[in-house]
Amino acid sequence: MSDTLNYLDAACYHAAPSFTHHLEGELPEPYRRDDELLTIMGPLRHTYWTRNVWKKPFTAEFGSISEASKILRGIQRNWAPYPAKLARRTTLIAEALPSLPNKPKAFPFSVPASPMGAFTLLDEHTLMASAECSSPWPNGEFEFIEDKEGPPSRAYRKLWEALVMADAMPGPGQRCVDAGACPGGWTWALAGLGAEVIAIDRAPIDERVAAMPGVTFMKHNAFTIKPEDIGPVDWFCSDVICYPPALYDWVMLWMES
Ligand SMILES: C[S@@+](CC[C@H](N)C(=O)[O-])C[C@H]1O[C@@H](n2cnc3c(N)ncnc32)[C@H](O)[C@@H]1O
């Protein structure tokens, strides 16, 4: 099988949705560009504006849809299609592969252990693919089963995503600061995991969230609260809308405490 694979001395960077322009600013001129996928020659580079990085891309020639799927299946089970072009043909290959575990998931859940590859078509008879990718989810995307009743805002999904990506969760016996907490989505998520939460905001918090076990609300300018005002914390969460340098200085205070 390896005879049919032509490994590239390159990596492919799949831009975060609508942020291709930002990604272009992080990388040299692409060797090739397939819609939001930039292939850059040379060793793997560190980037921020990616949803997924194809670490070891290869190309492979194939005659038929079943031959393309056989090449991919011969390497591993999971392959996410990226239909940059030839969308119908890409989808047909994906349909000939084992289906992906991409149903919305109930939070909390762990990062999947099985590898997730990605592929696209360069032309009708040439695959470009990588078995090794930076994200364990198809094209770096996963969905939660949303809670439309409990939280007072949809912002909790940002925190859920960050916790899943970090593969770490606060829990009972741990203290969290939630800065810029209102109306209370993040506090709702943290308290829902059983953690103690000190929620700080200049605006009022949702009453139902304030009444959750373990939640203490401080109506205050977050930046004037110092670590010694609160004592040791295990998790420091901030969704304050502000200039990044101001937040950085304040976070460093807590890191150093
Ligand atoms: C994006 S909202 C937070 C949403 C919240 N994480 C949630 O899940 O509902 C940003 C919040 O930052 C708060 N904020 C902005 N500047 C602040 C400051 N200096 N101190 C405290 N809160 C601040 C705003 O009042 C606002 O409620």
**Interval 220-242: pLDDT, tens:** 999 999 999 999 999 999 999 99
Mark whether 103 and 27 lie in a shared domain.
yes
CB of 184 within 8 A of CB of 207?
no
Mark whether 227 and 118 lie in a shared domain.
no
Establish if 23 belongs to a structural domain: yes
CB of 11 within 8 A of CB of 32?
no
In the chain, pLDDT over 70 holds for what percent of residues?
A: 99
170: domain CATH number is 3.40.50.150
Mark whether 8 and 132 lie in a shared domain.
yes
pLDDT (tens digit, 9 = 90+) per residue, 209-218?
999 999 999 9
Establish if 150 belongs to a structural domain: no
Q: Is the pLDDT of residue 1 over 60?
A: no
From 85, 115, 140, give the residue that closes a domain.
140
Q: How does DSSP classify residue 36?
A: T
For 197, the enclosing helix (H) or strand (E) is strand 196-201
Mark whether 166 and 237 lie in a shared domain.
yes
CA of 159 to the centre of ligand 1 (A): 14
Structure tokens, 155: 């912002």
Backbone phi and psi for residue 160, each to the nearest 5 degrees, phi listed first: -55, -50
From 140, 170, 205, give the residue that closes a domain.
140
Q: For 90-105, what is the mean pLDDT?
A: 94
CA of 231 to the centre of ligand 1 (A): 21
Mark whether 214 and 252 lie in a shared domain.
yes
Atom 21 of ligand 1, nearest CA residue? 201
C-beta 209 within 6 A of ligand 1: no
Mark whether 136 and 163 lie in a shared domain.
no
Q: Is the pLDDT of residue 2 over 60?
A: no
Atom 8 of ligand 1, nearest CA residue? 185
Q: What is the mean pLDDT of the chain?
A: 95
CA of 106 to the centre of ligand 1 (A): 26
C-beta 64 within 6 A of ligand 1: no
> Residue 139: helix, strand or coil by DSSP?
helix
Sorting pLDDT into bands at 50, 70 and 90, what band is 3? low
Q: Is the pLDDT of residue 72 over 80?
A: yes
pLDDT for the residue numbered 99: 95
The number of folded domains in the chain is 2
C-beta 170 within 6 A of ligand 1: no
Q: For 79-84, what is the mean pLDDT?
A: 98
CA of 214 to the centre of ligand 1 (A): 20
Establish if 149 belongs to a structural domain: no
From 140, 174, 190, give the residue that closes a domain.
140
Mark whether 125 and 215 lie in a shared domain.
no
C-beta 186 within 6 A of ligand 1: yes
CA of 213 to the centre of ligand 1 (A): 21
Mark whether 103 and 162 lie in a shared domain.
no
Sorting pLDDT into bands at 50, 70 and 90, what band is 102? confident
Q: For 146-169, what is the mean pLDDT?
A: 94
CA of 246 to the centre of ligand 1 (A): 14
Establish if 147 belongs to a structural domain: no
Establish if 146 belongs to a structural domain: no
Residue 120's beta-bridge partner residues? 128
pLDDT (tens digit, 9 = 90+) per residue, 107-144?
998 888 899 999 999 999 999 999 999 999 999 999 99
Mark whether 136 and 184 lie in a shared domain.
no
Establish if 82 belongs to a structural domain: yes
Atom 25 of ligand 1, nearest CA residue? 203
pLDDT for the residue numbered 112: 85
Instruction: For tokens 């043909």, name the residue.
Output: 89
Mark whether 83 and 59 lie in a shared domain.
yes
Q: Which atom of ligand 1 is nearest to the CA of 186?
A: 8
Mark whether 35 and 125 lie in a shared domain.
yes
CA distances from 219 to 65, 216, 243 (A): 61, 10, 21
Q: Name the residue range of residue 251's domain.
A: 156-256
In the chain, pLDDT over 90 holds for what percent of residues?
A: 89
Mark whether 62 and 7 lie in a shared domain.
yes
